Amino acid sequence: MGIGWSKLGNVEQYASKEDIRKSLRTLYRSKYSQKNCALALWQFLHELKPGDVIFAKRGLNEILGRGVVEGSYEFDKNDDSYPNIRRVRWTHNGEWYSECLLATKPLTDITAYPDLVAHLNSFFEDEGSDLEEDAGQIEYPAYTPEDFLSEVYMDAERYRTLVNVLRAKKNIILQGAPGVGKTFAAKRLAYSMMGAKDAERVMMVQFHQSYSYEDFIEGFRPNAQGFDLEKGAFYSFCKKAQDDSDNDYFFIIDEINRGNLSKIFGELFMLIENDKRGSRNTLQLLYSHELFYVPSNVYLIGMMNTADRSLAMLDYALRRRFAFFNLLPAFDTESFAAYQKGLASKKFDRLVACIVKLNEAIASDESLGNGFCIGHSYFCRISSDDVIDGKLSEIIDYELVPMLCEYWFDEPSKVDEWADKLRRSIQ
């Protein structure tokens, strides 16, 4: 199955639905909010899982087929129409008329509408009785350390160090400046350590000021009759890992320093330590009073933007339970040099050289430092056509210069100086 919006490039480069929405509006010069399109792309990448049943539709009343998702997200850079792909085993194809009106959105989760699901499944009752049984037999694409190194601009020695540290500590925070590819690297690190692109064993959440223990572990939620005790994301993930102790599981936390960490982790501060894992170390949960432990096959990967001035330092109790790994701009790596050489663009070469000098200026600034340098991901997945049709100019004007305005808000002359240098480098 495929979904469009090819101008966005690989959707995995976007950290949030809001980033996708803004890019859609810019790239397609749209006067509309693009909220639904951004949601569809986000769900296509993050929420669809192998084993999910999908229905293909046309218009508001016609079903064209049913299938089972078998693969994780892929980006086909050679497809200009539908480059965003999920591998699907199509169990049925044809034409079926639905009396129920179907959503107009390109992708809609209908799990919460059991009557509609039952209506659609009724078209396939004669043939689909073994669908769920077959859906569980999924072969995930292999993913090796070599695959990681081919996609993430990091040398082999640093990758081995990263893996060894995570294996030993169980918990790690990837920290770095904007655009160094923290989110991009985190999922691929998990895949490379698992040896397969098994999205079922990887979960990502994003912390924010309102994220709580009730979201993370468990808490009471209101319903029509009163309150239900509902389990949170990390609790459910740990239970899933307990039932599959032969395989590794990876829980990824984006923007880990944006949440109130003592409030979110609660009594789990102790249980996430590498030497406190397993059923021999249990604690009673706050609401259910259940004895709970964190399995030894669960790894935590946090991500932290070192350039966000609005955030306080991490809680020391959490800091000593995590290892910290700096992701740096990769302009000097062999893999980025090979990518740059493949573009064969003097304009791109001049811009990269200018960014390297800009990073030197940022690093030497006493009020900034290395944590504010500009990362390489702003310039990844650019084609020769992008260099010609103004993509570089858009990156400079709408992404880099606004960032420099924040960095040097009290030195506008310095912003103007570097904005001029960046723009002249691509002329």
pLDDT tens string 186-196: 999 999 999 99
Could you give the CA distance from residue 411 to residue 427 in angstroms, rounded to a whole number?
25
Work out the average pLDDT over 353-367.
94
Mean pLDDT rounded to a whole number for the chain? 87
56-60, 211-215, 354-358, 417-421: range with lowest mean pLDDT: 56-60
pLDDT for the residue numbered 12: 87
| Helical segments of 272-333, H only | 316-319
pLDDT for the residue numbered 135: 47
Q: In what order do the strands lie in the sheet with 171-176?
A: 202-206, 249-254, 298-305, 171-176, 323-327
Burial status of residue 4 (CB atoms within 10 A of its CB: 0-12, 13-18, 19 or more): middle
Query: 347 or 119: whose pLDDT is higher?
Result: 347
Could you give the CA distance from residue 187 to residue 250 in angstroms, rounded to a whole number?
9
Domain residues of the chain, as ranges?
2-135, 145-327, 334-425
Q: What percent of the chain has pLDDT over 70?
A: 94
| Helical segments of 112-244, H only | 114-121, 131-135, 145-151, 156-169, 182-194, 213-216, 233-242
Q: Is the pLDDT of residue 352 over 90?
A: yes
pLDDT for the residue numbered 107: 87
Q: Is the pLDDT of residue 40 over 50?
A: yes
Work out the average pLDDT over 17-27.
88
The string of pLDDT tens digits covering residues 302-331 is 999 887 755 445 667 777 889 999 998 999
Confidence grade of residue 104 (pLDDT, cut at 50, 70, 90): confident
pLDDT for the residue numbered 128: 47
Phi, psi of 77 (to 5 degrees): -70, -15
Span 145-327: which CATH code?
A: 3.40.50.300
Confidence grade of residue 222 (pLDDT, cut at 50, 70, 90): confident
